[in-house]
Structure 1
Amino acid sequence: ACTATMEKTTLMSPPLLPGNRNITEEEVRRILNLLPGSRRASNGVIVDNGDGTSYHITGFITSDPEMADVENLHLAYATKHEIIRLRELRTAHDYLLRVRLEAIAASPRAVRTFRKRRAQFEERGRRWTLTDYYNAQNIDAKRYVSRLSRPLQRIVKSIPYGLAPINEVNAVARRTMLGDVVMVAENLRYFFYFMNIAMYGPYSEIRTDDCIDAAIIALRIMRGSESFDFDLDPRATLPAQIEREIQSKTGRQMEFTFGHEFAHLLEGHLVDRLGSDDLRVYSHECEFAADCRAVLAAGSDHETKRTLARGAFDVLLYLHFLEVSARAGLLRSYSDGVTHPLPLERIGRLKAALNKRYLPPPGEIEASEDAIDTMVESVTKRVDVSGRPDLLSFYGSLYLPTFTDRMKTDRIEF
Structure 2
Amino acid sequence: MDKDVEKGWFRMFCSEEEVDRILQPKNAYDYLLSKRAEIIADHARYTRVFRRKAMLSDNWSLEKSFKKNHYKDYLISLPVVDSERCQSIAYGDMFTNEVNGFAESNKTWGRIIYLNESLPFFMKFCNLAIFDFGNQVPHYVKKNTLRIAARIILKSEAMDFSLDPRGILPAHIMNKIINPIKFEMQFIAGHEFAHHLCNHFDNTNVSKQSFLTIGENDYSAHIYTPSQKNEFEADIDSIMRPRYNGKEYSKIYEAAIIWFLSLDIADAIQEVTNPIPAYKKSHPNAVDRIKNIVENTKKPKNLNAKMLSRIQSNTEKMKEFLMEDLSLYMDDYEKYGSIYFDKPNTEWRGAELVDRVDY
Of 107, 116, 130 in structure 2, the residue corresponding to residue 199 of structure 1 is: 130
CA contact (8 A) 2:249 2:300 kept: no
Amino acid at match of 1:287: E
CA contact (8 A) 1:103 1:167 kept: no
Partners of 1:321 and 1:133 lie apart in 2 by: 28
The DSSP-based 3-state class of the residue aligned with 1:390 is helix
Of 150, 159, 168 in structure 2, the residue corresponding to residue 237 of structure 1 is: 168
CA contact (8 A) 1:202 1:211 kept: no
User: Alpha-carbon deviation of 1:224?
Assistant: 0.4
The DSSP-based 3-state class of the residue aligned with 2:358 is coil
Partners of 1:132 and 1:240 lie apart in 2 by: 26
Partners of 1:234 and 1:275 lie apart in 2 by: 38
- Does residue 1:357 correspond to 2:306, yes or no? no
CA contact (8 A) 1:201 1:211 kept: no
Of 257, 260, 275 in structure 2, the residue corresponding to residue 333 of structure 1 is: 275
- Does residue 1:140 correspond to 2:70, yes or no? yes
Give the corresponding residue for 1:288.
Answer: 232
User: Alpha-carbon deviation of 1:67?
Assistant: 2.9
**CA shift digits 1:213-266 (9 cap, x unpaired):** 111111000000000111110112211122122110111111111111121222
- Does residue 1:410 correspond to 2:348, yes or no? no
Partners of 2:118 and 2:266 lie apart in 1 by: 15
Of 374, 397, 402 in structure 1, the residue corresponding to residue 317 of structure 2 is: 374
The DSSP-based 3-state class of the residue aligned with 1:350 is helix
The within-5 A match list for 1:186-265 is 186-203=117-134, 205-265=136-196
Give the corresponding residue for 1:173.
Answer: 103
User: Alpha-carbon deviation of 1:130?
Assistant: 2.4
TM-score (normalised: structure 2): 0.83
**Matched positions, count:** 337
Is the alpha carbon distance of 1:335 and 1:223 closer, same or farther for their aligned partners in structure 2, counting shifts above 3 Å? farther
User: Alpha-carbon deviation of 1:152?
Assistant: 2.6
Identity, % of aligned pairs? 26
- Does residue 1:400 correspond to 2:332, yes or no? no
Give the corresponding residue for 1:267.
Answer: 198
RMSD (CA atoms): 3.0
Is the alpha carbon distance of 1:272 and 1:284 closer, same or farther for their aligned partners in structure 2, counting shifts above 3 Å? same
User: Alpha-carbon deviation of 1:183?
Assistant: 1.4
Partners of 1:117 and 1:148 lie apart in 2 by: 34
**CA shift digits 1:14-53 (9 cap, x unpaired):** xxxxxxxxxxxxxxxxxxxxxxxxxxxxxxxxxxxxxxxx
Amino acid at match of 2:93: L
Partners of 2:226 and 2:189 lie apart in 1 by: 21
The DSSP-based 3-state class of the residue aligned with 2:103 is strand
The DSSP-based 3-state class of the residue aligned with 1:202 is coil
Give the corresponding residue for 1:77.
Answer: 13
Amino acid at match of 2:252: L
Amino acid at match of 1:152: D
CA contact (8 A) 1:174 1:180 kept: yes
**CA shift digits 1:309-357 (9 cap, x unpaired):** 1111111111111233444x3x332687442111112111111111133
Is the alpha carbon distance of 1:88 and 1:191 closer, same or farther for their aligned partners in structure 2, counting shifts above 3 Å? same
CA contact (8 A) 2:180 2:255 kept: yes
Is the alpha carbon distance of 1:116 and 1:165 closer, same or farther for their aligned partners in structure 2, counting shifts above 3 Å? farther
Is the alpha carbon distance of 1:157 and 1:114 closer, same or farther for their aligned partners in structure 2, counting shifts above 3 Å? farther
Amino acid at match of 1:99: K
Partners of 2:248 and 2:205 lie apart in 1 by: 36
Amino acid at match of 2:74: Y
